[in-house]
Structure 1
Amino acid sequence: MKQGLGTQLRHLIELLDGAVAASYEAAGIDYRPRYTPAMRALAQGGARTVGQIAEAAGITQPAATQTVALMLKEELVTTTPSPTDARQKLVQLAPRGQALLPRLQRCWTATGAAAASLDADLAYPLSELLAQAIEVLDRQPFGERIRVARERLDKNSDNNNEEPT
């Protein structure tokens, strides 16, 4: 039986994230791959709001909020109240996060090289295909595509149930 798109994507993520997590462990770093987009955003320097982290990292604000909360527990980041907006907190790398950066950057370089190697071994570079899929889904979301497909099925079902003349 052919696996569905969601099942294939989850399996691909498991294969990729599992290998990346194992590479951190092999390097002696206690670190989760999900932190990388936020860490990269914060490594650019300066404190940022969660919204700014989300934008710089290309992730949703709820994902950034959850990630920052986990990173706080692991003392990778600290937060301070924003001097201009009491509703917001500024997030910055904690000393532990700063100390990990050189080792993380080495891992990120190796991961980037591995991703380039994967792209080279595929008929179509995965990174380009994923970027194209995201762009196309931004124009017409998958939920909209499901709705259109369901309407077509309903219309065809209605036409097949008509009495012959």
Structure 2
Amino acid sequence: MDAEIEQVYIERGIEGVRPRFVRPLIRLAHTGPLTVRELAESLDRTHSAVSQTVAAMRKEELVTSEPGPDARTRRIDLTERGRSLVPFLEAEWRATHAAVAELDGEAPYALTSVVDELRRSLERRSMRQRVLDHLVPPR
């Protein structure tokens, strides 16, 4: 699905944007500059995941990174290019949610319910632990 959403961007002349960039870009547009930690907390993502996403967005000239209030932090802000894309990305976000709702209606079970159930299951026992439980040492 992500590849097809990315294709929508390309068809609209938007190069270098990935679906995982959308929420952080929209959040920054609404909040202004944030540290990676603040952005991660606001998106309910890990610091590491957001740090990697920010690095990829910086490479695509969607965000800038400047020293924060202390030497250990950096404040992330939108570039003009990043800011100019937000109205389209917000429209795409709404369209994607509508498409997921449509899929939920067509499937014999709701995609969103399955994802929620999987998330709860993985919170009870991580994928790492599940793999380890099934891992048979070589003889």
State the TM-score, normalizing by the size of structure 2: 0.85
Q: What is the alpha-carbon distance in structure 1 between the residues aligned to residue 26 and residue 121 of structure 2?
A: 26
The higher relative CO (CA closer than 8 Å, separation ≥ 6) is in: 2
The Cα of 1:149 is off from its aligned counterpart by: 4.7
Distance 1:74 1:146, change over 3 A: closer
Matched, 1:89 2:78: no
Instruction: Show the counterpart of 2:63.
Output: 77
TM-score by length of 1: 0.73
- Provide Cα deviations, 1:13-49, integer angstroms capped at 9, x if missing partner: xxx0111011112222222212123213213222111
- Pick aligned residue for 1:119 from 87, 100, 104: 104
Is it true that 1:129 corresponds to 2:114 in the alignment? yes
- Amino acid paired to 1:34: R
Aligned residue in 2 for 1:43:
29
Partner of 2:85: 100
Aligned equivalent of 1:138: 123
Secondary structure of 1:44's partner? helix
Could you tell me which runs of 5 or more consecutive residues in structure 2 were left unpaired when the two chains were aligned. Answer: none
Using the alignment, how far apart are the partners of 1:147 and 1:21 within structure 2? 34
Between 1:49-58 and 1:19-28, the stretch displaced more is 49-58
Inter-CA distance 67–146: structure 2 relative to 1 (3 Å threshold): closer
- Distance, in Å, in 1 between the alignment partners of 2:92 and 2:82 is 14
Q: Which has the larger radius of gyration?
A: 1
Deviations 1:143-162 (A, max 9, x none): 33344456xx89xxxxxxxx
Distance in 1 (CA, whole Å) between partners of 2:97 and 2:23 is 13
Structure 1 gaps, min length 5: 1-15, 155-165
What is the Cα-based RMSD across aligned positions, in Å? 2.0
- Correspondence for 1:5: none
